Structure 1
């Protein structure tokens, strides 16, 4: 079996959870749109839109890269940016007294954690590519 053509199941599960969470976030944000003229509900709607946009963006990236070998630098950069930005927004949501949106952001982080590679080697069946070093003969 060729490893390049196999499906990365963990990434697929993470993508599905992120997509479902993003769609439910958009639906929830639209359901409160008639009340969004008020401060706290407007903040809640704004956080939901932002978290849902992040979730759908990562889900699309996961769906596109399901069968490809993960790139270690790209995965690390996205992981750092995602956790810092979403974590900062969760803290801001909690400080703004919008705990429901913060809970949605935490759920988004959990769904992302399910699909992203952990460890130095990447996924178990889809490891990071190993750089082949050229051996030079010393004279």
Structure 2
């Protein structure tokens, strides 16, 4: 604006008023923007607390999951050992029964080789046949 401009000298108070009003509007807008910015952040503390609580719960849950996995692994190992012992004991019983049966069979076979026993068995068989003949069952 030129110094010779009549408008410049005609309303000097209006020009200053316009400048001040513009500055006030700019300042008001800046303050309002700052208020809005701070207002958006007012929930940050609550959100941070909630996130921290969720993180704590997640850590606790992960700890419990890890402990349960460890307990499951230990239980599985114990079961495997116990199953192994059961199989071992069953095999031992089977072996003992087999040995006992072999011993009994061997004893019976050895006793059948005894001539006295053979004669006694033969005599008993002949007596039973004679008894059946007498009773006319044969």
Name the TM-score class by shorter chain: under 0.3
Q: Which has the higher helix share?
A: 2
Pair member with larger Rg:
2
Question: Which of 1 and 2 has higher RCO (CA within 8 Å, sep 6+)?
Answer: 1
TM-score (norm 2): 0.25
TM-score (norm 1): 0.25
